[in-house]
Structure 1
Amino acid sequence: MMLKYGDPGYMEQDRSLMLYSITFSFLAASICMVVLRIYCQWYLLRSRRITLSGILIVISLFVDIASCILIHFQIHTGMGKHIEYSRARPAMLKASMKIGLAQNTCYQALIGLVKMSILAQFYQFAQPGLQRRVVAWVGGFVCIFMLFTVFAAIFQCIPMKAAWDLQNFPRGCWNMMNVNFFTSSMNTFLDLVIFLLPITTIYRLPTTFRKKLTLALAYSMGLLALACSAIRVRNIVFFNGEGDFTYVACMVPVWGAIECNAGIICASFPSLLPLITRTPHPPPNPSIRLSSTLASSGPHQPHRESKVLTTKTDAAPPLSTWEA
């Protein structure tokens, strides 16, 4: 129940535990997914090839950890409690405003990195020609938009110290509610575009319907990120930027964290398909010859020379077959 200032128990209302549990539960899930993704690539598929998508998702994870740590400090400095609690502690409120600026900057960078990682995956299996050009164009736009949002978050006030000046704020600052609404709405639109982008590509892949369906279901995890982005926009619209923002708007950065972690999970889930299907993989040493296997079956087996045939593709690790 939403109490009003002066009501018994008003100052004791605290959402900290809920904010902690949601934020760090999703962070733990993201860490597990990225670790499993690396395990599947390096140990199940025996692929040591470093991809742009893999690099971006690892960078995203580190930025995600930094963002969640900043959310921890936001909670520690009053987020989740009523604004009157913070106003009675000016030094803490000032620290909270500084941390809020840093966390928003991390969020803007993180959401762009996650999108580019997913687009890098799409580019790998997109057919040459128009499909790859469309993915590249969308990726270029996402990169430019990410740079814009990061600089907008950093330089929302001129000079920067005006962002935590308790006496003059928001003088010298942009209307950050309008900026956040624009950037969040655009991110929601881009999430929708990225969700729809691989449909035609997956449909045209030269593989079985079952594999196409499995891949489509894997990427449908992106609906979670899309839903979180839409809810974050709703929270920004509901909160008009004034009043009890440390309590009423405390879920805005948390929904951003959920959105980013859902994106990391979505980007990593297709790479976990070998773990789910448990498909056989080539032996660690492709130079092992068939003659070794034949010799182990009995002493009277004749020695036969063998040749190693190796086929490599861009989308999969080396596959070795043996021919006597």
Structure 2
Amino acid sequence: MSLPPSEIQYQKEHINDNVQPNIYASCFICLPAAFIAVGLRLVSRRMTAGGFGRDDSMILLALLFTSGFVTCCIWVTVLGMGKQQILMDPENTVEFVKVTLAAQILYNPAIFFTKLSILFLYHRIFPSRTFTRVLWGVGAFILAYSITSAMVNLLQCVPIAANWNPKLAATAKCVDFGSELIALSTINAVTDFVLLVLPMPILWRLHVNLEKKIKLMVMFALGAATVIVSIIRANYVSTISFTNGTWANSFGAMWSVVETCLAIVAACVPTLRPLYEKIFGKIGGSTMGSSAAQLAYPQSGQTIGSGGGASYKMGAFGSKSADSNYTGKSSVTESNYKDGASVHSFTRLRDDV
């Protein structure tokens, strides 16, 4: 597609604008951070008796798709992303469009599996019947949104080859991709906020002092950074351009990299307490010692929270249990860390754990 004279003039006036270093920085800083977070998460898993769970499987899948997405972002940057479009070698245009489409497709499962990991972690920690229904509802909505988003990205033009073949573009059926992308980005930010606030009412009802509640809520509220980044990304996505895509769309790509990687890091933070305690000692003595361990790593299926309005009285976080209307078999057990430390934890026995 030929550019209008006004667009060509604008790009010539800004010919030296270059955000490629910013894109490379986001890729080469954020992706290793995500790998480190997942690695530390797995190390923490080995330090407890909770074992490898579905939440861990989902975060590994998220890391896999995020790696593919970030790789595509690096690839398109090499091809010209981050500079004015008139500077891109015309021979790279088809490859650029194809890799961009691949990045858009990989973004969806990267975000989906991260959110699914968070939902599974919530279920592992707070498995009351009422909260489980809420998790299923939120999960179903996120699944529907993810499928819709994937289909919009994949089928933005039919036939798909019309995205890079001008001969097919004249007869192709294409959606208003800009409007669709803005809507989907907004929904994505909303679901991030929902995931952030989901555990807060349960944490607030724990029978502990205010200081402990706040510390635990802060630990889970680190996902607020992801919400902020999602909003920033949605703002840049609204400036999508088809006449200067290598420049205008570079900001959305950069913040998408930050979002996918930061979401993984935020999803891993609540699970790292055992490792932190082993290295630095208990946080505030017994104040946060066994509490965070039980929340991040329920031992043998340990539960926190309640169904039907009741809540577990955890005392100093991890000694005794009471007042649960959960109908499964329950017992008080002592679970051992591999380094010899032990915590008393309220457990429930379920066949699927």
Query: Could you say what secondary structure the match of 1:4 adopts?
Result: helix
1:115 aligns with 2:115: yes
One-letter amino acid of the structure 2 residue matched with residue 315 of structure 1: Q
Match of 1:18 in 2: 22
Q: Which runs of 5+ in 2 are unaligned?
A: 1-8, 283-297, 304-332, 337-341, 343-353
Match of 1:291 in 2: none
Cα distance, 1:218 vs structure 2: 1.5
One-letter amino acid of the structure 1 residue matched with residue 195 of structure 2: I
Distance 1:240 1:18 in 2: 18
TM-score (norm 1): 0.80
Distance 1:56 1:35 in 2: 14
Match of 1:148 in 2: 148
Query: Could you say what secondary structure the match of 1:220 adopts?
Result: helix
TM-score (norm 2): 0.74
Identity in percent: 21
Q: Per-residue displacement from partner, 1:198-224 (whole Å, max 9, x unpaired)?
A: 111212345665543333112111111
Distance 1:100 1:22 in 2: 17
Distance 1:34 1:312 in 2: 20
Cα distance, 1:70 vs structure 2: 0.5
1:225 aligns with 2:229: no
One-letter amino acid of the structure 2 residue matched with residue 29 of structure 1: A
Change (3 A) 1:253 1:312: closer
Change (3 A) 1:240 1:13: closer
Change (3 A) 1:315 1:26: farther
Match of 1:297 in 2: none
Match of 1:314 in 2: 301
One-letter amino acid of the structure 1 residue matched with residue 300 of structure 2: T
Match of 1:203 in 2: 204
1:97 aligns with 2:112: no
Distance 2:95 2:24 in 1: 19
Does the Cα contact within 8 Å between 1:78 and 1:93 map onto a contact in 2? no
Match of 1:5 in 2: 11
Distance 1:151 1:201 in 2: 36
Bigger-Rg structure (1/2): 1
Q: Which runs of 5+ in 1 are unaligned?
A: 281-310
After the TM superposition, which segments of 4 or more aligned residues of structure 1 sit over 6 Å from their partners?
none
Change (3 A) 1:271 1:172: same
Match of 2:178 in 1: 177
Cα distance, 1:161 vs structure 2: 0.3
One-letter amino acid of the structure 2 residue matched with residue 103 of structure 1: A
CA RMSD in angstroms comes to 2.4
Distance 1:168 1:227 in 2: 39
Distance 2:168 2:334 in 1: 63
One-letter amino acid of the structure 1 residue matched with residue 228 of structure 2: A
Mean CA deviation greater in 13-22 or 104-113: 13-22
Match of 2:60 among 58, 61, 68: 58
Change (3 A) 1:247 1:195: same
Match of 1:81 among 83, 108, 112: 83
Distance 2:217 2:237 in 1: 31
Cα distance, 1:166 vs structure 2: 3.8
Distance 2:98 2:334 in 1: 50
Does the Cα contact within 8 Å between 2:22 and 2:254 map onto a contact in 1? no
Match of 1:304 in 2: none
Change (3 A) 1:14 1:130: same
Q: Per-residue displacement from partner, 1:175-228 (whole Å, max 9, x unpaired)?
A: 111111111010011111111111112123456655433331121111111011
Distance 1:211 1:277 in 2: 16
Query: Could you say what secondary structure the match of 1:214 adopts?
Result: helix
Does the Cα contact within 8 Å between 2:40 and 2:272 map onto a contact in 1? yes
